[in-house]
Amino acid sequence: MGSLASFCSGGTPSKENPKYWNGSIPWVSASSMYDPLVEKADHYVTPLAIGNGTRIAKKGSILILVRGSMLFKRVPICVAGIDVAFNQDVKALEVDASINTGFLLYQLSAFQSRIPINETGIGAGKIELDHLKRFELFIPDLAEQHRIASCLSNLDALITAETQKLEALKTHKKGLMQQLFPSVGGVAGEA
């Protein structure tokens, strides 16, 4: 992978300086890395924070968590849907133009069980940068990469739509149950 992407490390601006926080730039950490596309985060930084503790991962960069206890369960990997800042536990991969970012995202996600996780002295997991750079990938021609990424992203869109429908049905059911079985203020049997 080292021949296909350049790697950047993120960071955390001083939390003591309020001029760095509560801005408009998503600051990505492990808690923001649950979907394949990241465009929002739990915390936001200001433009002043860029270069003062954190940096920008450009839209289209792949973000991979490289340190944290979450790594023992899964390796969070996503694509920046917009320019985002990111913390020191995340690496940003700027991908070579000969690689479809979506294809690489899906391949890394499929092969995450092959990524070696070391344990740090404090019980967290860690992915060594050298291991990532040496990680072997299977790269078909660009047209095939586009077809594979398109197929899988269409499935992701369908899963998202069906999940939203399911949540709407659950909400509807809950409302119906509240109407059908209203709570009574008094005790049963009272007149």
Describe the crossing of helices 142-180 and 101-110 by its angle, rounded to 10 degrees.
70
Checking if the pLDDT of 109 tops 70, the result is yes
* Model confidence band, residue 182 (pLDDT cutoffs 50, 70, 90): confident
Q: In angstroms, rounded to a whole number, what is the distance separating the alpha carbons of residues 35 and 19? A: 29
**Residue 190 in domain:** no
Q: What is the pLDDT of residues 114-149, one digit of tens each?
A: 999 998 878 889 999 999 999 999 999 999 999 999
**Residue 189 in domain:** no
Pair (53, 129) in one structural domain? yes
**Residue 186 in domain:** no
Total-model pTM: 0.84
Pair (102, 116) in one structural domain? yes
DSSP track, 67-110: EEGGGGT---EEEESS-EEE-TTEEEEEEPTTS-HHHHHHHHHH
Token code pair at residue 2: 């080292």
Token code pair at residue 186: 């008094």
**Residue 149 in domain:** yes
Mean pLDDT, the chain, as a whole number? 92
